[in-house]
Amino acid sequence: MPLFSANLGFLWQELSLPDAIRAAKAAGFDAVECHYPYETSAEDVRQALAETGLAMLGLNTIRGDVAAGDNGLSAVPGREDEARRAIDQAMDYAAAIGTRNIHVMAGKSEGGEAHATFVANLRYACERATEIDATVLIEPLNHRDAPGYFLRTTDQALDIIAEVGAPNIKLMFDCYHIQIMQGDLMHRLQTHLNAIGHIQIAAVPDRREPDHGEIDYREILRFIDTIGYDRPIGAEYRPAATTEAGLSWLRSYR
């Protein structure tokens, strides 16, 4: 039976993060993950996780000045100090709540200088992650949802992972983004399995519940099981209505 993690960056947004954790437990999820939990007390989150028995699988570094268009900082030349403060913030929060995956967001940039900046900041992040026995994740984002984002394809991500050269950096394989940018999901999942730190799902093209659209997730989930991936799959989608109203997919896929 597949395991599923509720991404609380999108699900139960009307609730506080601790209450969203409780709602995910009540709905039958096996774990949770989030985006930017920093406005919530780490102690409150830790208590909700302890109460429910759920693990918080991952969180993101902050995007920066969202009003000014930022979508991450670590591949943006000239903003290294901000990027490393964001990495430190994420590592400290992750340590406080027992999270073992930190997604380091690249930001909007391009070119060789951006590449070198990202690699240097990721090496810093991997050093910090070693201190808390955590893994750094990087995630290609599609150019429709995240125009101008530095990291766009699995091939680019794998080249960067190899260049960083640390044992604790992995690929966040978001089927939604990768289907839009590259497709060929089963082949990429199998080929890159050893480099994958987390898998996420959502319908394509509307990023709603993963029970319709151009990806047959029943087949994808069966395939993921056959290749030996046994960790929770992240449900990172935007509910069409309320979160509860759209959870029939969760019961059906089990």
- Residue ranges covered by each domain of the chain: 4-253
CA 198 → CA 43, 177, 244, distances in Å? 25, 14, 24
Q: How many residues does the chain have?
A: 254
- Give the pLDDT band (50/70/90) at residue 254: confident
Strands (E), the chain: 4-7, 31-33, 59-60, 101-103, 135-138, 169-174, 196-201, 233-235
Give yes or no for residue 188 having a pLDDT over 80: yes
Give yes or no for residue 98 having a pLDDT over 90: yes
**Mean pLDDT of the 175-196 span:** 98
Instruction: Look at residue 36 in the predicted model and tell me its pLDDT.
Output: 98
Instruction: Look at residue 1 in the predicted model and tell me its pLDDT.
Output: 77
Which residue is catalytic, options 14, 82, 113, 139?
Answer: 139
236 is catalytic: yes
| Superfamily designation of domain 4-253 | Divalent-metal-dependent TIM barrel enzymes (3.20.20.150)
Q: What is the pLDDT of residues 240-253, one digit of tens each?
A: 999 999 999 999 99
Give yes or no for residue 15 having a pLDDT over 90: yes
33 is catalytic: no
Which residue is catalytic, options 80, 214, 236, 244?
Answer: 236
**Mean pLDDT of the 138-158 span:** 98
